[in-house]
Amino acid sequence: MTPATDPERWLGEYGDLLFRYAVARVGDISIAEDLVQETLLAAWRGRGRFTGQSAESTWLVGILKHKIADHFRKQPPLSLEDSGLDLDRYFDERGHWRRAPESWPDPERELYEEQLQAALRQCVGHLPPRFRNLFFLREVEGLSGEEICKQMPVSSTNNVWVMLSRMRFQLRQCLEKAGFSHSGKGE
């Protein structure tokens, strides 16, 4: 017997790998334990056929895959009627959606947007007081240049647009320092 097919090492070296693989697929610890035992027994019986063309772990996982497939073949077929789902609520008689499901959110995009909002709040907090007030008047409250002139000591709407341009430039620099580029993706 070659060291590559020494069954006495299999459980110690590959037991955790096989067990995790089985649990992830069948979702039941006791069934996974049984499948690993069946795998090791089948490997013991078939050890003479192991040619060494693959790693021993690959060979054992291959046997386990077959044991898992056999396990599911022995299960009764899935029945939608027995599932307890109210399918008529969602599907018409032809099997089409009554109302198409909404698209799922993109977690990466949501995280990016949360981080961008936090960085924006911090950057707005670092603006000089006049620029901070200007930011809220224009970007949050949506006031026009004329309305801003009435609320801030600014001589003309042209000066409002100049101040807005400078304020936005400062925000952009701050956001870029925080890792946000103008392309819409973090760097």
Distance of CA 50 to the CA centre of its chain: 39
User: Residue holding tokens 């004329």?
Assistant: 146
In angstroms, rounded to a whole number, what is the distance separating the alpha carbons of residues 96 and 91? Answer: 5
Same domain, yes or no: 68 and 113:
no
Domain count, the chain: 2
Closest by Cα among 21, 10, 138 to 68: 21
- Residue 61 included in any domain: yes
**49: domain CATH number?**
1.10.1740.10
Q: Are 166 and 172 in contact (CB under 8 A)?
A: no
- Residue 183 included in any domain: no
Q: Would you write out the chain's pLDDT as a tens digit for each of its 187 residues?
A: 444 567 778 989 999 999 999 999 999 999 999 999 999 999 999 988 888 888 999 999 999 999 999 999 998 877 766 767 777 888 888 888 888 888 888 899 999 999 999 999 999 999 998 999 999 999 999 999 999 988 888 888 888 899 999 999 999 999 999 999 866 554 4
